[in-house]
A and B are shown apart, each in its own frame.
Chain A
């Protein structure tokens, strides 16, 4: 009988989960926000999104094929996701060549130079975004106001202050909470519609792609500190990049802590730093910086916030 049995260690079955399944689930969760972005900002949103996604995928493919000469992994969806998330952090009227530079920084510098997926220390989309913010401050902070009616405009969009900058400058801008929730306000592509993002959050929880710890601790922390520091908690929750950051950026697998305790600490500190920057710093928006700073602290959190061991008082021998 010429057959050969296969031998390996247990377990001999697998759940079928894969990296691409998780990445595409997140991409799916972002679709409501993407549709909302096109609804509110017109074809400019589509252009920025498409450019960012394509650029990220192409850069990753080229780097893997010609520089690293390793097995290609663009199909796993992580480059697509980075492209989508980067786009969601940009204004819809950003010149496309700047978008491509941002994609390059995100993929080549923040992700591939660290060793590819799994080895990067900082959230690639955020690194790209912050790089663009600092290098092209003018283009990155002229926010188009929401169209909500004239959505086929690409150029000549009206620009104005975001709700966050109004809060910073203590100006009234006539926005109601409903506007904030739905997204009828100025801002970057993905951050405006809290409802669309929240739908994505529920979907991800249901599919067990992420757990509740990080987003909920960020929300709780923001509410706590806005109350403590005399600001409007709901306004801070729903404006700016907080919803997007809390649900999709801070929960990035590679750069967030590995244990529930660690995740709560991480979320708490992100909320704190965000509020400090928003209320006392020069920038109206603090989420990107807060998340990047905490990405750097994540290894430390991983060292110290160990899970409770079964049957042990202390978490190490």
Chain B
């Protein structure tokens, strides 16, 4: 249903994974997952190594945070995050690169899964793994659904439908076996014996590599999907692969499918087989304002500015710096912010590509209706948001919107539909919460 074909702009395709340099001081935000922010367990002056637990999960939906660097804790204080608000973070002065001795740093593939199902879930929880596709939902919660819901298929999201981003693609090319072992671990943890890896057909090399590697695994199938945005969105992906539609308000696992990103599967492999907590991730640094688009393995907490410099970005020619992809990513207020667990890409747009064109009246062309993947009417939701009619917004199912941006992308009048829909969702959400 709906969907668009934005220009792919995969400038960094094929760029081999490189490792980022270590910064000198870092800030590690305490809110890096959906749900409750974590609470710090270190204080000023504490020495930490790579992998030391520095913040603990604080609720059912929350995750641990481990130090990505070795050094000394300077303080726990507020610092600006990507949205310009000040949020609590742990300040660390980096010295050296000492790792916790419990972490296995060897490169060889560890194929044998020694832990039991519940031990796996506990290890994933301890390692602070969250969904690395961008949603940052704590993985240990997701793979442990309520007892009355049973999953029968594990769906691995290798779609990477956002333009510009290539981190997942490169990961599949370079570490296919590790990803597949991670998938096997997840299958064991969830008691599922069927897994499907979905990759869009604009990545034929990844499809080949993964398919070949999957031959030595049982129960894992690799399929190639037609390219369409936003096929990587959970509900849309489930429909594309299984034909089933998740009911509004239900968990995707209610149709028996559990979705995990390929990068999350890799992180699961590292956590379970190498005892390595989530302290780094692959980030694509790209855009026409950088000279060398790269796929970089970077530690959480690395400042955006350092990575942009690595890619040869000229900040004086930059209009927007986006955390994520161009369709759903967040334009940040400064390059001095830290990479978090959910940051899959840094898109540096030149000034000329950064300004919106001027807006006109809605000409009622209905193109937004035809591209909406959730069957909504964006022109109407935008208008209702403008006049602040929260009641009608709720009735028109505004809460179903996944904010994929297809409507604003398509609108010939350049209307800021997602802007108003976001406002509508936040107000209607508040009204609905206050009702309970």
Contacts and interface: CB of A to CB of B under 8 A. Distances in A.
User: In their complex, do chains A and B touch, with some C-beta pair under 8 Å?
Assistant: yes
Interface of A: 1, 3, 5-15, 17-19, 21-22, 73, 115-119, 211, 253-260, 306-312, 315-317
A272 to B, nearest CB: 23
Contacts of B321: 5
A258 B320 contact: no
B332 A5 contact: yes
Contact of A12 (B250, B331, B363, B374): B331
Interface string B224-259: 000000000001000000000111101000000000
B416 A309 contact: no
Contact of A6 (B1, B355, B362): B355
Interface stretch (B14-22, B138-146, B266-274, B397-405): B397-405
Contacts of B167: none
Contacts of B163: 13
Nearest to A73: B360
Interface string B412-436: 1110101100100000000000000
Given A5-B321, A311-B245, A11 B395 contact: no
A115 B363 CA distance: 12
B118 interface: no
B248 A258 contact: no
B375 A5 contact: no
Contacts of B365: 22, 253
B345 to A, nearest CB: 12
B366 A259 contact: yes
A9 B382 CA distance: 14
A10 B377 contact: no
Contacts of B353: 13
Contact of B397 (A7, A15, A317): A317
A211 B327 contact: no
Interface in B351-402: 351, 353-357, 360-367, 369-370, 372-377, 379-380, 394-397, 400
Contact of B315 (A3, A10, A316): A3
A257 B379 CA distance: 12
B129 interface: no
B364 A118 contact: yes
A317 B395 contact: yes
B414 A9 contact: no
B410 A15 contact: yes
Given A19-B412, A312-B397, A12 B247 contact: no
Which residue, of B333, B361, B374, has the highest number of chain A Cβ atoms within 10 A?
B361
Given A3-B315, A258-B364, A11 B422 contact: no
Given A117-B361, A309-B376, A5 B320 contact: yes
A8 B238 CA distance: 30
A5 B336 CA distance: 12
B316 interface: yes
A113 B47 CA distance: 73
A118 B372 CA distance: 21
Contacts of B362: 118
Contacts of A7: 320, 331-333
Contacts of B318: 3, 5
Interface in B118-154: none
A117 B413 CA distance: 11
B40 interface: no
A317 B391 CA distance: 11
Chain B interface residue bracket vs A: 35 or more
B145 to A, nearest CB: 18
A306 B375 CA distance: 9
B363 A19 contact: yes
B6 interface: yes
B201 to A, nearest CB: 22
Nearest to B6: A13
A136 B416 CA distance: 45
Contacts of B374: 309-311
Contacts of A115: 361
Given A19-B360, A309-B374, A311-B250, A12 B322 contact: yes
B334 A311 contact: no
A6 B247 CA distance: 37
Nearest to A21: B412
A12 B349 contact: yes
A11 B408 contact: yes
Contacts of B419: 8-9
B328 interface: yes
Contact of A259 (B245, B319, B354, B369): B369
Nearest to B320: A6
B326 interface: yes
A312 B405 contact: no
Contacts of B408: 11, 14
Given A12-B326, A309-B400, A317-B397, A258 B375 contact: no
B329 interface: yes
A211 B405 CA distance: 21
Contact of A15 (B315, B319, B379, B409): B409
B72 interface: no
B211 interface: no
A9 to B, nearest CB: 4
B340 to A, nearest CB: 17
Contacts of A316: 395-397
A22 B403 CA distance: 26
State the 8 A-B residue pairs at the shortest beta-carbon distance, nearest first. Answer: A11-B405, A118-B361, A311-B248, A258-B366, A253-B365, A309-B375, A13-B326, A310-B374
A5 B330 CA distance: 12
A22 B379 CA distance: 18
A10 B364 contact: no
Contacts of B329: 10, 12
Contact of A310 (B369, B370, B375): B375
A283 B2 CA distance: 42
Contacts of A310: 1, 235, 245, 248, 373-375, 400
Nearest to A257: B366
B42 interface: no
A15 B6 contact: yes
Contacts of B400: 309-312
A5 B246 CA distance: 39
B395 A306 contact: no
B245 A18 contact: no
A12 B408 CA distance: 9
B4 interface: yes
Contacts of B349: 12
